C-alpha cells in the first residue's frame, strides 16, 4: 500500500510538470498517460487480490481512482492544446461581394494565397480550400493574371451577305502527342512499363507516358493495354515463379514458347 501511495504522489508531480512544460507535446504526454493507466491497473489488481481484507480502505481507493482519472483527462486535454497563441487571425480566403446586379454575389479570393497555392494544386483542390467551384477559382486566376486564357473554341466573322460565320480552332497538340508513336511502338513502350511495374493500371501508365514526354489519348492507351497479356508459370510446391512474360497476344503458341523456354532453364516438371 505504501508503494502505491508513493507512486501516486510521484506520478502527480510528473503530471503537473508535464502540464506546465509539455503542453501540446502529444508524444511526451502520451507517455505520462500510459504511466497513469499502468498505476491505475496496478491499484485495481492489488484491490482485487485483497478484496476481503482492509489493505486499501474504500475511501482511499476512491480518491486514488478519481485522482488517476483526473490526471488522464488533463493529459488528454493538454495533448490537443498549445502554449503558442496565434500571432494573427487566420487569413480570410474568400469573401462575397454584392455587385448590385441580379444573381448571386461575386466571390473574391485572397490573391496572395491564390498566387502561392496555384503552383501547388489544381483548381479542383483549391475549390475545396476556398469553398467555391473550380470555375470560380479559374476565373479569379484569369482576373488576377495568374493564368493565361485558353484558345477560343471558335471565332465569329461577318460574311459579305451579313451572315455570321464561325471558324473553329483546331486543338494544338504538344510535341510527342497523339501521332508521335505508332501502335507497335506504343505497345513496346507499355510492355516495357508493365515489365518493370506490373501493378500499374491505365492511369499510372498514362502518367508514366507523360513523364516520358508522350501525350497519348486514353483510347489508344486502353487499346494497347488490352493487347498486353501476361503469362506466368509457378511451381506448385515452392510457389517459385519459374517464368513470366508480357506478350501482345493470347495465342497457345505464345504460351508454349514460354513453357519451352522455362523447360530449358529449369527442366521438365513432374506434372503440369
Phi, psi (rounded to 5 degrees) for 202: -65, -35
- The residue whose grid cell reads 486564357 is 149
Nearest to 18 by CA among 67, 74, 70: 74
Say what the pLDDT of residue 44 is. Answer: 82
What pTM value is reported for the model?
A: 0.33
- Give the count of alpha carbons within 13 A of 215, CB side only: 7
Say what the pLDDT of residue 136 is. Answer: 94
Q: What is the 3-state secondary structure (H, E, C) of the chain?
A: CHHHHHHHHHHHHHHHHHHHHCCCCHHHHHHHHHHHHHHHHHHHHHHHHCCCCCCCCHHHHHHHHHHHHHHHHHHHHHCCCCCCCCCCCCCCCEEEECCCCCCCCEEEECHHHHHHHCCCCCHHHHHHHHCCCHHHHHHHHHHCCCCCCCCCCEEEEECCCCCEEEEECCCCCCCCCHHHCCHHHHHHHHHHHHHHCCCCCHHHHHHHHHHCCCCCCHHHHHHHHHHCEEEEEECCCCCCEEEEEEECCCCHHHHHHHHHHHHHHHCCCCCC
Exposed/middle/buried for residue 46 (C-beta within 10 Å: 0-12, 13-18, 19+): middle
Calculate the alpha carbon distances from 43 to 73, 98, 120, 133 in Å.
Answer: 18, 65, 54, 58
Residues 6+ apart with CB under 8 A from 204: 197
Say what the pLDDT of residue 176 is. Answer: 47
- pLDDT in 10s for each residue of the chain, 272 residues: 677 778 888 888 888 888 877 777 778 888 888 888 888 888 888 777 765 556 677 788 888 888 889 988 888 888 777 655 555 666 788 888 888 888 888 999 999 889 888 888 889 989 998 989 999 999 999 999 888 887 677 667 666 677 776 656 544 444 444 456 788 888 888 888 887 777 788 888 888 888 777 888 888 888 887 777 788 999 888 888 899 988 877 788 999 999 999 999 888 887 77
Amino acid at each position: 500500500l505504501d508503494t502505491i501511495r508513493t507512486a501516486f504522489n510521484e506520478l502527480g508531480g510528473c503530471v503537473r510538470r508535464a502540464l506546465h512544460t509539455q503542453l501540446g507535446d502529444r508524444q511526451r504526454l502520451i507517455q505520462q498517460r500510459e504511466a497513469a493507466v499502468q498505476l491505475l491497473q496496478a491499484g485495481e489488481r492489488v484491490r482485487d487480490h485483497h478484496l476481503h481484507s482492509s489493505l486499501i480502505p474504500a475511501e482511499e481507493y476512491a480518491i486514488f481512482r478519481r485522482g488517476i482519472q483526473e490526471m488522464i483527462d488533463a493529459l488528454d486535454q493538454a495533448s490537443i492544446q498549445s502554449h503558442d497563441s496565434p500571432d494573427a487571425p487566420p487569413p480570410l480566403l474568400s469573401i462575397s461581394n454584392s455587385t448590385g446586379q441580379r444573381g448571386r454575389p461575386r466571390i473574391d479570393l485572397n490573391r496572395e494565397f491564390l498566387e502561392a497555392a496555384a503552383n501547388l494544386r489544381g483548381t479542383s483542390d483549391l475549390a475545396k480550400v476556398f469553398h467555391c467551384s473550380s470555375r470560380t477559382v479559374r476565373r479569379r486566376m484569369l482576373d488576377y493574371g495568374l493564368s493565361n486564357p485558353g484558345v477560343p473554341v471558335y471565332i465569329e466573322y461577318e460574311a459579305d451577305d451579313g451572315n455570321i460565320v464561325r471558324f473553329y480552332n483546331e486543338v494544338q497538340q504538344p510535341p510527342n502527342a497523339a501521332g508521335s508513336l505508332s501502335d507497335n511502338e506504343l505497345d513496346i513502350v507499355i510492355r516495357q512499363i508493365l515489365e518493370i511495374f506490373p501493378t500499374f493500371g491505365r492511369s499510372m501508365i498514362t502518367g508514366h507516358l507523360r513523364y516520358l514526354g508522350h501525350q497519348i489519348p486514353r483510347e489508344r492507351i486502353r487499346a494497347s493495354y488490352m493487347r498486353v497479356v501476361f503469362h506466368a508459370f509457378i511451381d506448385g510446391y515452392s510457389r517459385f515463379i519459374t517464368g513470366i512474360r508480357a506478350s501482345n497476344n493470347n495465342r497457345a503458341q505464345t504460351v508454349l514458347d514460354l513453357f519451352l523456354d522455362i523447360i530449358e532453364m529449369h527442366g521438365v516438371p513432374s506434372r503440369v
